[in-house]
Amino acid sequence: MTDRPKRRSPAASSGRSRRPAVNPPAAAAAGEASQPFTSVSDRFFRQLVLGMRNGVLAVTRDGRMAAMNEVAYRILDIAPRPDDLGRELSDVLSSQPDIVRILSAAFDLAHLPNRAELRLKPSGKVIGYTLSRILDDKGQPEGAAVFFKDLTLVEQMEERERLRDRLAALGEMAAAIAHEVKNPLAGIEVMAGLLRRRIPDVPDAQSLLNDIISEVKIANAIVLEVLEFVRPIRLQVERTSIAQVLHDAVTMAERKVNRGGVNVTMNIQEQLPLFQADHYQLCQLFANLVINGLEALDGKGTIAITAAQGVEYQEPAAMPGGRDPAATLVVDVVDDGPGLTPEIAERIFNPFYTTKPQGSGLGLAIVRKIVDAHDGHIDLTTALGQGTRFRVTLPMNAGEDWLQ
């Protein structure tokens, strides 16, 4: 349901096969490989282990925490405490019992898993991990360590690639059909119009012909949307003001759907810099979100649009030192409408998925395509009866343009 790839990183795009090997440091921590380095201090080994760009977590035989690096805290969503070292691991990781279980099992397993995967609760993050035992001088296990990496981004990228392949095939077919259907539709509309003029005195026929013409118009709008969806995006990038984009988008949306009593509010952080983007495409994107909001609200409620600057941490493996914040633009489109069940929410970005009698199901597919083309991502938060929030995060790649 969420779609958060990006900041193209070599590690993320190289797929799973090249996950960093974590065995050497594990061996070093175990003391086995330490002979060649006898001149190196304990502090050196500590830094070696804790400074790894994977999550590192070690436990002693009696279940106390022996090491946990910053990446591990971050991936596991745990706030570090100064007295964590030496605490019962099950206390420190009370929110992650699965990790505690895996580490305890490391003392008993005959073969330790290399490159296993685990989905963390409740965040849903997927981690890839390797286990190792830490041996004392007699070769007895005195501790166990787990080395892990957040694979969520990799997983999502793979999923997106599969989707892209499916869309490419679907898109070609849809484009061909849309093209074929467009001309006969135009013909029907013109002929119905002619007929309407020929028989001005037959009210029954007039009303039927009006119905035919309005149905044709709906079909035509769907065909146009299909063509819009399948057309490859070529971005016309220019220095763009997000405030202008959002104003234009709301105007565009209100031209398509009657606002009724819906209150549309806009709250845009002051002094937002201009950024490089395709103004027209972004208008389409936000207009589609506002249109959906208006349709969901059906004449009553509020759509709140906010825009602010944000910061995003890149995928850890891609950045030296672990963090490389990139400036982003975060735009929320929030409505207090009916919201969605998780089952529906999972499908709404699929092309042709619609719950509306006359919907095309392409609005959000187009939204996603435009977001992708801008190297951004879109997240959905919704629950039945709780309204819906679409959060679009766009990279602010024109960092030097700090102009209003």
Binding residues for ligand ADP, rule: CB under 6 A, are: 288, 292-293, 296, 335, 337-338, 340, 348, 353-356, 359-365, 388
The least distance separating ligand ADP from the CB of residue 382, rounded to whole angstroms, comes to 7
Report the interhelical angle of 363-373 vs 203-230 (nearest 10°): 30
Taking the least distance from each CB to ligand ADP, the nearer of 312 and 335 is 335
The least distance separating Mg ion from the CB of residue 297, rounded to whole angstroms, comes to 13
How many residues bind Mg ion, per CB under 5 A?
A: 2
Taking the least distance from each CB to ligand ADP, the nearer of 323 and 356 is 356
What residue number has its CB nearest to ligand ADP? 363
Taking the least distance from each CB to ligand ADP, the nearer of 207 and 355 is 355
Among Mg ion, ligand ADP, none, residue 353 binds (CB under 5-8 Å by kind): ligand ADP
Among Mg ion, ligand ADP, none, residue 388 binds (CB under 5-8 Å by kind): ligand ADP
Candidate segments 166-174, 260-268, 273-281, 291-299, binder of Mg ion by CB under 5 A: 291-299
The least distance separating Mg ion from the CB of residue 234, rounded to whole angstroms, comes to 23
Taking the least distance from each CB to ligand ADP, the nearer of 99 and 289 is 289
The least distance separating ligand ADP from the CB of residue 354, rounded to whole angstroms, comes to 3
Sign of CA dihedral 122, 123, 125, 131: negative
Among ligand ADP, Mg ion, none, residue 58 binds (CB under 5-8 Å by kind): none
Q: How far apart are CA 248 and CA 322, in angstroms?
A: 39
Taking the least distance from each CB to ligand ADP, the nearer of 102 and 348 is 348
Taking the least distance from each CB to ligand ADP, the nearer of 143 and 337 is 337
The least distance separating ligand ADP from the CB of residue 388, rounded to whole angstroms, comes to 4
Cβ contacts of 96 within 8 Å, gap of 6 or more = 76, 78, 120
Do you find a cis peptide bond into 395, omega within 30 degrees of 0?
no
Taking the least distance from each CB to Mg ion, the nearer of 229 and 275 is 229
Q: How far apart are CA 94 and CA 81, in angstroms?
A: 14
The least distance separating ligand ADP from the CB of residue 292, rounded to whole angstroms, comes to 3
* Token output for 370: 């435009």
Among ligand ADP, Mg ion, none, residue 284 binds (CB under 5-8 Å by kind): none
The least distance separating ligand ADP from the CB of residue 340, rounded to whole angstroms, comes to 5
C-alpha dist (Å) from residue 285 to 144, 245, 249: 50, 10, 8
The least distance separating ligand ADP from the CB of residue 390, rounded to whole angstroms, comes to 7
Residue 292 is a binding residue for Mg ion (CB under 5 A): yes
Among ligand ADP, Mg ion, none, residue 355 binds (CB under 5-8 Å by kind): ligand ADP
Taking the least distance from each CB to Mg ion, the nearer of 151 and 287 is 287
Give the per-residue contact string, 344-363, with Mg ion (x = CB under 5 A; - = no). Answer: -------------------x
The least distance separating ligand ADP from the CB of residue 184, rounded to whole angstroms, comes to 22
Q: How far apart are CA 226 and CA 106, in angstroms?
A: 54
Taking the least distance from each CB to ligand ADP, the nearer of 107 and 353 is 353
Q: How far apart are CA 368 and CA 159, in angstroms?
A: 14
Contact footprint for Mg ion (CB under 5 A): 292, 363
